[in-house]
Amino acid sequence: MTPGTNLGAFNAPAIADSLRGLTADPDRPNLYEIAQALGVRSITTDSYLDRLGHTSWYGGSPAIVLQGGQAPSRQRFTLAHELAHTFLRHGRTDDSGLSAAPATRPHFRREEWQADSVAGCLLVPEYAVARLRDHRNDDGSSIATLADIRQTAATYRVSNSVVARRLSDFDQSRHWLLINLKRLPRGHWFTWRIIGRLRGIDAVMEVLESNDSIFDSLSDRDSSIVFLARFGNHIFQLSGSGNRRDDLILILVDRVRRV
């Protein structure tokens, strides 16, 4: 598959495989080798950039700028995201080879989703996600834990969120959610960020105040957790593993039951 090919039905894993084929080690892709193969003229950082990354086209040749100060794993994903834009020819006008402003691109949001999907597939290969899905714990259970997510993230030099999103997209048999909670000044916990979603439910998640004692009991060591959350008009029981560090909680949900 060559850059700008008519892709028909979007297939992020296939596009990622094409990009991986441009580097010497497909299992640990060198993003700068891929950039060179795609004809990227420069990759620079700018601490004043108002977004994580941006690709500009000049005469058909792309230049990538990354926001300075990003964590290494975040910057690696941002670069992979911009390389996906480059391969897919997002933001490039066909007649002049120059950049098109986001406001003039009717499919801007879809392009961002496509670039995120390709970047995730490029950095965390299918077999690694399948290994998480098929994981077997010492007690015989087959549920991946936060520790497994962290280990995979460290192996592929990405964030926990990237791995969780890959798992959620890859394994359609479960409701995988990676949830960040923050404590409000008055003591209640609220949903700060959630990766993944309940299939068939588009409502925003709201944790119930009745869970506060459960969340407060978490330590900095991963442990099992069961709590209640509201999605729209429905209450669900969520189960998984989590930990707390001061006023921040990280939870990996792998089982969901409507109550």
State pLDDT tens for residues 84-140.
Answer: 999 998 876 554 444 455 555 557 788 999 999 999 999 999 999 999 888 766 665
Give the pLDDT of residue 93. Answer: 54
Residues 176 and 198 in one domain: yes
Among 63, 94, 123, identify where a domain stops.
123
Is 255 within 8 Å of 226 (Cβ atoms)? no
The residue behind tokens 């993230």 is: 153
Q: Grade residue 2 by pLDDT with cuts at 50, 70 and 90.
A: low
Give the pLDDT of residue 151. Answer: 93
- 6 within a domain of the structure (yes/no): no
What type of residue is 209? E
Range of the domain at 164: 127-258
Helical H runs in the chain? 12-20, 31-37, 72-88, 108-123, 126-133, 146-156, 160-170, 212-216
Residues 141 and 237 in one domain: yes
Average pLDDT over residues 75-84: 96
Residues 85 and 26 in one domain: yes
SS3 245: strand
Average pLDDT over residues 156-166: 93
> Of 238, 241, 249, whose CA–CA distance to 215 is shortest?
249
Among 72, 92, 123, identify where a domain stops.
123
Query: Is the pLDDT score of 42 beyond 60?
Result: yes
Average pLDDT over residues 135-158: 80
CATH number at residue 72: 1.10.10.2910
Size (the chain), residues: 259
- 5 within a domain of the structure (yes/no): no
Residues 80 and 142 in one domain: no
The DSSP letter of residue 151 is: H
SS3 223: strand
The burial of 57, by beta-carbon neighbours within 10 Å (0-12 exposed, 13-18 middle, 19 or more buried), is given as buried
What are the percentages of helix, strand and coil residues in the chain, rounded to 5? 35, 25, 40
Give the pLDDT of residue 114. Answer: 93
* Beta strand pairing call for 177-183 and 248-258: antiparallel
Chain-centroid distance of CA 145 in Å reads 17
pTM of the predicted model over 0.95: no
Residues 51 and 171 in one domain: no
Average pLDDT value over all residues in the chain: 86
- 2 within a domain of the structure (yes/no): no
194-234 pLDDT, tens digit each: 888 777 777 888 888 888 999 999 999 999 999 999 988 88
Average pLDDT over residues 174-195: 87
How far is Cα 226 from Cα 99, in angstroms, rounded to an integer?
Answer: 49
Q: In what order do the strands lie in the sheet with 53-58?
A: 42-46, 61-67, 53-58
- 209 within a domain of the structure (yes/no): yes
Give the pLDDT of residue 85. Answer: 93
Residues 149 and 114 in one domain: no
How far is Cα 233 from Cα 131, in angstroms, rounded to an integer?
Answer: 35
Average pLDDT over residues 9-36: 93
Percent of the chain at pLDDT exceeding 90 = 56
Residues 197 and 250 in one domain: yes
> What's the structural domain count of the chain?
2
Query: Is the pLDDT score of 24 beyond 90?
Result: yes
Highest-scoring range by mean pLDDT, 138-142, 145-149, 201-205, 238-242 = 238-242
* Beta strand pairing call for 61-67 and 53-58: antiparallel
> Of 5, 4, 6, 18, whose CA–CA distance to 89 is shortest?
4
Cα atoms in the Cβ-side hemisphere of radius 13 Å centred on 170 = 21
Give the pLDDT of residue 202. Answer: 76
